Amino acid sequence: MIPAKGYAAQSVATDLAPWNFERRELAPHDVLLEIAYCGVCHTDLHSINNDWFPGIYPMVPGHEIVGKITQIGSHVKKFTTGDLAGVGVMVDSCQECDDCQNHQEQFCQVSPVQTYNSMGHDGLPAYGGYANNIVVREEFVHRVSAKLDLAGVAPLLCAGITTYSPLRKWQVGPGHKLAVVGLGGLGHMGVKFGVAFGAEVTVLSTSEAKREAAKALGAHHFVVTKNEDEVAAVKSTFD
């Protein structure tokens, strides 16, 4: 086994605290990632607190992971040691069922393995990225350019793809009026992508205090949703 240290909740709703644990030895398709940064997603808090379903404890949260590959399994094709790479919300699936074959691994008919709070196909609980390392099948590891700021890359692995995917699917761009509800972890990504794609971006927020942050991210307009007049003024104006 590979020694690891991280931050874990030992039981529901307890504070995170340092915890030593082990990762599995590398299987032929696994890589070992030395973690440089891990973003904080609100899902981490929901999971620790059992907000959605009973959790698996101890729980090491974190699914916005970026770092450097330090070891590769004997059959790994995509990566070599020294590569920068990221890991998002999934770490394994059967790779053989119809859904996996269609690149819909999240619907794997055997069982999709989430990055944490999930049982792995190795029979061990999956532990996430609030740790110094992680072992992951190469199919669930993403290449990261050395030109990028790794701290800025980490949130792309969940908040980023969650907002990027629908904006690209609906081909949001010049001429579109995009409204982003809330300027939190996902909202700030939605604003940055919307602006980068050329849309006219409005942030809808309950808090006047977010106005300057929205402008700094490139938002063109800001509406305080507690103000009924402001909301009425933009009614039915978004695509």
Token digits for 1?
A: 């086994």
Integer Cα distance of 167 and 150 in angstroms:
23
DSSP 52: S
Q: Which of 108, 201, 219, 224 binds Zn ion (CB under 5 A)?
A: 108
26 sits near Zn ion (criterion: CB under 5 A)? no
Q: Does 85 bind Zn ion (CB under 5 A)?
A: no
Figure out which of the listed residues 85, 158, 189, 191 binds Zn ion, where binding follows CB under 5 A.
158
Q: Which residues, at least 6 apart from 210, have a Cβ–Cβ distance to it below 8 Å?
A: 183, 203, 222
How many CB atoms are closer than 10 A to CB 160?
23
Asked if 97 is part of the footprint of Zn ion (rule: CB under 5 A), the reply reads: yes
Binding characters for Zn ion, 35-74, by CB under 5 A (x = yes): ------x-x-------------------------------
Binding segment for Zn ion (CB under 5 A), chosen from 100-108, 131-139, 196-204, 222-230, is: 100-108
Per rule CB under 5 A, count of chain residues that contact Zn ion: 9
Tell me the one-letter amino acid at 165.
Answer: S
Residue span binding Zn ion (CB under 5 A) among the ranges 49-57, 107-115, 137-145, 203-211? 107-115
C-beta pairs of 224-233 under 8 Å, 24+ apart in sequence? 231/204
Find the farthest-apart pair of alpha carbons in the chain and give their distance in angstroms, rounded. 63
Q: Are 96 and 84 in contact (CB under 8 A)?
A: no
Q: Which of 100, 179, 180, 223 binds Zn ion (CB under 5 A)?
A: 100
Q: Contact positions toward Zn ion, by CB under 5 A?
A: 41, 43, 93-94, 97, 100, 108, 110, 158
